């Protein structure tokens, strides 16, 4: 097994993980995520912030919901990867801001 495959399984769970044993619940969460995304799109459109839908956290939500609807662990893992770096940088930025009062990334 390659390192890349191991990392994907670590992020999304092995094929024998409980998420695949509860496929209906997984797909229901995928439907919820998709409905939430469309509601968020409507709200952002209403207030003139539609371009924010292209942020990685919002596109990751769509990718994750597609992965859950298709029960595809690789698609779910790619959604996790999409948002991981951005959220890590955000946490570092907020931590530095709390300690020094200076925002690094804005």
Tell me the per-residue pLDDT of 15-70, one tens digit each, with 9 for 90 and over. 555 555 678 888 999 999 999 999 999 999 999 999 999 988 899 999 999 999 99
Residue 83's pLDDT is 87
Give the residue-averaged pLDDT of 93-99. 90
> How does pLDDT run across 64-93, given as a tens digit for each residue?
999 999 999 899 999 999 888 888 888 888
Cα–Cα distance measured from residue 90 to residue 71, given in angstroms and rounded to the nearest whole number: 29
Decide: 57 and 89 in contact? Cβ < 8 Å.
Answer: no
**Local confidence band at 103 (pLDDT 50, 70, 90 cut-offs):** confident
Residue 31's pLDDT is 94
Cα–Cα distance measured from residue 34 to residue 47, given in angstroms and rounded to the nearest whole number: 20
Reported for 87-91, long-range contacts at CB under 8 A and 24+ positions apart, including other chains, are 87/57
């Amino acid at each position: 097994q390659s390192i890349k495959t191991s990392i994907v399984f670590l992020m999304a769970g092995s094929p024998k993980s409980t998420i695949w044993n509860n496929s209906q619940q997984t797909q229901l969460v995928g439907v919820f995520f998709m409905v939430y995304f469309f509601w968020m799109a409507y709200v952002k459109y209403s207030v003139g912030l539609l371009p924010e839908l292209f942020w990685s956290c919002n596109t990751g939500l769509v990718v994750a919901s597609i992965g859950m609807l298709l029960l595809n662990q690789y698609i779910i893992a790619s959604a996790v990867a999409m948002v991981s770096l951005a959220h890590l940088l955000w946490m570092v930025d907020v931590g530095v801001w709390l300690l020094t009062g200076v925002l690094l990334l804005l």
